Chain A
Amino acid sequence: MRRNDFLGHVGWTGLGIAYTLGATGLATAPAEAASFTFVQISDSHIGFHQPPNENPGATLKLAVDAVNAMPVQPAFVIHTGDVTHVSKPAQFDDALQTLRALRAPLFTLPGEHDTIGAEGAKSYFAAFGRKEAPQGWYSFDMAGAHFVAIVNVFNFEKMGLIGNEQLDWIRKDLAAQKRSTPIVVFAHVPLYTVYEPWGWLTEDGGAVVSMLRRFDNVTVLNGHIHQILEHTEGKIRFRTAAGTAYPQPAPGSAAAPGPIKDLPASKLLGTLGYRTARVEDGSIVKLTDTMLG
């Protein structure tokens, strides 16, 4: 418990740093917005031990080292879920050991692999819970952009599902934003239907997409499917992320969505990566996916 309290404190301090940057001129009104970057890491599946990746801890560390080597550090790093493979406390511990080395403040979202049963969810919150986000979801502002982190893995018989309580919160949160404010949404499972037979969709994601339509500049960044896919609906740009553990097949291209096993070690790193988003004048101008090899 003491260890978790300590780590929770580190996470909270990290957020403090992000806001301190804001207070010194990086954040606040769009008129005085500066440029900055943030990084998305996803689907690390710590504890997975099958081909094509016997050691996902090592590949997560490669991503962390690469981000730490960026000459200008990102304003924050967000992990968009499936930090662990089966929600075990030891897997959360291992993930924290590696993610704690990040120089930039860390935000997280749970994936369904991080919240298996009541125990899994408890372990996730013990490792990554934030004081301002008792239910897992949160929003914040930075340099004129508004960031919303959605949890769509808590109701398991339907997945993804956001649920009415969180939808009400999102509605109120977005209602307070101006049409011209750039909106960045993070979630684990894609909000649109990528491939229904594999459950690669959020049942009530359409409700959020409807709320986002009035904005001029919206970017939705997801994980879950271990591959980079782009999608556009009106002015809303969606992009899913590569994982740091293993790739999954393109939608419908295999009998089942399990890991792509038959991958030579030399090819694995080329399927794993992290994403850098460059924000200028409060608007995302560039998404860059960097592969680990």
Chain B
Amino acid sequence: MMPFLLAALLAQAQPSSAPTVVVHMKNFAFVPATVQIKPGDVVEWVNDDDDAHTVDSSRHLFASGGLDTHDAWEHAFKTPGTFTYFCDLHPYMKGTVIVK
């Protein structure tokens, strides 16, 4: 019983400490622009550019706030679906997270 509980706790704790996928903001683009993950997985975005960027859900489901150079932000995707997002400082920067 105890090991099972511990394993369950660890499984729950994992998303906040270990992103499943890292998306870079580089040369004013999300790289890779499309990622596919499983429900519960975590995506981390890292700003490699000299300008600030953001990660903003097209359907207002998540928003990173301003990410300065070298800043990182992560978000756990709990439900299946296709989630498009953009940088609100440079809206031509677009990306997609597919959760299934």
Contacts and interface: CB of A to CB of B under 8 A. Distances in A.
Interface stretch (A80-88, A175-183, A232-240): A80-88
A113 B65 CA distance: 10
A22 interface: no
Interface in B51-100: 51-52, 54, 56, 58, 63, 65-69, 86, 88-92
A85 B58 contact: no
Nearest to A119: B65
A256 interface: yes
Interface in A209-259: 255-259
Interface residues of A, number: 27
B51 A258 contact: yes
Nearest to A51: B50
For chain A, what secondary structure do more than half of its interface residues adopt (helix, strand, loop), or is it mixed? loop
Size category of the binding interface on chain B:
20 to 34
A157 B84 CA distance: 11
A158 interface: yes
Nearest to A50: B50
Given A86-B52, A116-B54, A258-B51, A197 B66 contact: no
Interface in A182-206: 197-199
A112 B89 contact: yes
B44 interface: no
Nearest to A246: B50
A140 interface: no
B88 A112 contact: yes
Contacts of B49: 256, 258
B41 to A, nearest CB: 24
A256 B28 contact: yes
B14 interface: no
B92 A197 contact: yes
B36 interface: no
B16 interface: no
A258 B63 CA distance: 22
Given A50-B69, A85-B66, A86-B52, A257 B28 contact: yes
Contacts of A6: none
A88 B68 CA distance: 11
A293 interface: no
Contacts of A199: 90-92
A117 interface: yes
17 contacts: A86-B65, A86-B66, A87-B65, A113-B66, A116-B66, A117-B54, A120-B66, A156-B56, A157-B58, A157-B88, A157-B91, A159-B91, A199-B90, A199-B92, A257-B51, A257-B90, A259-B50
A-B pairs, top 10 by smallest CB distance, nearest first, are A86-B66, A156-B88, A256-B28, A116-B66, A258-B51, A258-B50, A256-B27, A86-B52, A50-B50, A159-B91
